[in-house]
Structure 1
Amino acid sequence: MIRLLIVDDHPIVRDGLRGAFTGHADFEVVGEAGNGADAVARAEVLRPDVVLMDLRMPGVDGVAATQRLRERLPEVRVLVLTTFDTDSDVLPAIEAGATGYLLKDAPVEELLRAVRAAARGEAVLAPSVAGRLMGRVRQPARGALSQRELQVLKLVADGATNREAAAKLFISEASIKTHLLRIYDKLGVRDRAAAVGEAFRRGLFS
């Protein structure tokens, strides 16, 4: 059972999203919130598996709420669901720690698949968002990533834990951590989510 928290400042949108999950036995909508601050507070009480997060809301917006959730409840996955796919919306959301980014015009079945994938920790991007990120011009890095570092980063982007990445590459977890630290330094970031966002921004996964 995937426990969901729906966050959007429009009640009609929240009602529609709740209805989309009705009748599917593997989902349970445990709560709703109309702004980012309320979303964080409710998530701390309800402990959902996935938060469906709108971006542009009054007060605390979706990016700030995502950052707070990442800091306070790192096990909770945030799937952004918005009408906006501009660089100024996409990149901050991914860097804040969003597991995925989906547009509100997505078919219901695509939404269900995305939530299931997010619950598994897999990165989920709407096609237009992925195309936008992959198409960005590469910018000079502090140092080029090695082939092994790219392999590690791709596994991280796919949602692999350090243990899972180590098993797939037949190296130790300590080696994975070392590679990640080098990746962070080369990309000028401080954590996994920001590294993945920066890699997409530079087109390193193309």
Structure 2
Amino acid sequence: MTPMTAGRTVAPHDTATVLIVDDHQVFAELLGEVLASRGLRLVGIRRTLADGLTAVESERPDLVVLDHSLPGATGASGLRALKQRSPSTRVLMLTAAEERAVLLEAMDAGCDGFVTKRQDIGAVMAAVTAVLRGETPVSPDMIGALVGNRPTPLGGDLTRRESDVLQLIGAGRSNQEVARELRISVNTVRNHVQHILSKLGAHSKLEAVAIAARLGLLRSNRDGVVRPL
């Protein structure tokens, strides 16, 4: 499923820099070798969040491949700390956990992509490429978790800001136009769009708008314009 200061978008032919933060040494070294073989520049492998944060501050990589569970830290808190130090760095989270709560927590923290370690190295590399293109890939074995049982009606759990983004998407605005109108970054718009897709059970922005229209979630123009916070 590919529909999350703004993150950099790096064309596949550019030499993107990648940092791996993972305490599973064999996996991290294998991934590093594959990254290098695909023309990406590995700037380091770190086994703890503290070392990873230090490397992020000094290297400012285009992408960090971040293990969800690290010694002394877990996914969302580590991701937030990393984004604070380098807001333009994109983050692909790897995890052995397959719970919906883990995925949603990561997305709320600003994750740019999410892959479980059940996937083979080819799937991980596909996710790396997608994140560098500015997409927000979600591991296929987690898509069901995005549209699982909900305690609230479909669309009933949209936040105010997600609703604002939805209205503008429904009016035909691009992500860049939404960002300008709401005075937020394009990366934040992508995050909101990903949340909207998951909450509406949609696989694209077009499908999300169609679902929202059917549910009566879209306002008419006379209802007023969306104002930035």
Query: TM exceeds 0.5?
Result: yes
- Structure 1's consecutive aligned runs of 4 or more residues displaced over 4 angstroms after TM superposition are 191-194
1:90 to 103, 108, 112: 103
Query: Is 1:6 paired with 2:53?
Result: no
2:94 counterpart SS class? strand
Matches within 5 A, 1:64-143: 64-137=77-150, 139=152, 140-141=156-157
AA partner of residue 51 (structure 1): V
CA RMSD of aligned residues (A): 3.0
8 Å CA contact 2:165, 2:192 repeated in 1: no
The 2-side partners of 1:134 and 1:45 are apart by 39
Unaligned runs of 5+ in 1: 167-172, 181-190
Cα deviation for residue 30 of structure 1 reads 0.6
Matches within 5 A, 1:39-50: 39-50=52-63
Query: Is 1:21 paired with 2:35?
Result: yes
Cα deviation for residue 147 of structure 1 reads 9.3
The 1-side partners of 2:143 and 2:59 are apart by 31
TM-score normalised to the size of structure 2? 0.67
Structure 1 pair 122–193 and aligned structure 2 pair: CA distance change class (3 A): closer
Number of equivalent positions: 180
1:124 counterpart SS class? coil
TM-score normalised to the size of structure 1? 0.73
8 Å CA contact 1:101, 1:124 repeated in 2: yes
Cα deviation for residue 138 of structure 1 reads 6.3
1:17 counterpart SS class? helix
AA partner of residue 17 (structure 1): L
1:52 to 53, 65, 70: 65
AA partner of residue 103 (structure 1): T
8 Å CA contact 2:165, 2:189 repeated in 1: no
The aligned counterpart of 2:199 is 202
Structure 1 pair 146–96 and aligned structure 2 pair: CA distance change class (3 A): closer
Moved more, 6-15 or 132-141: 132-141
Bigger Rg, which one = 2
2:41 counterpart SS class? strand
Cα deviation for residue 193 of structure 1 reads 6.6
> In the TM superposition, what whole-angstrom CA distance separates every residue of 1:108-156 from its partner, at most 9, and x where no partner exists?
222222111111221110112122102342623467948952727x98x
The 2-side partners of 1:147 and 1:37 are apart by 35
The 1-side partners of 2:105 and 2:165 are apart by 27
The aligned counterpart of 2:213 is none
Query: Higher relative CO (CA 8 A, sep ≥ 6), structure 1 or 2?
Result: 2
The aligned counterpart of 1:149 is 167
Cα deviation for residue 202 of structure 1 reads 2.5
Unaligned runs of 5+ in 2: 1-14, 204-229
The 2-side partners of 1:9 and 1:70 are apart by 20
Determine what percentage of the aligned residue pairs are the same residue.
26
AA partner of residue 63 (structure 2): V
2:70 counterpart SS class? coil
2:104 counterpart SS class? helix
AA partner of residue 167 (structure 2): E
Cα deviation for residue 197 of structure 1 reads 5.7
The 2-side partners of 1:202 and 1:81 are apart by 22
8 Å CA contact 2:57, 2:86 repeated in 1: yes
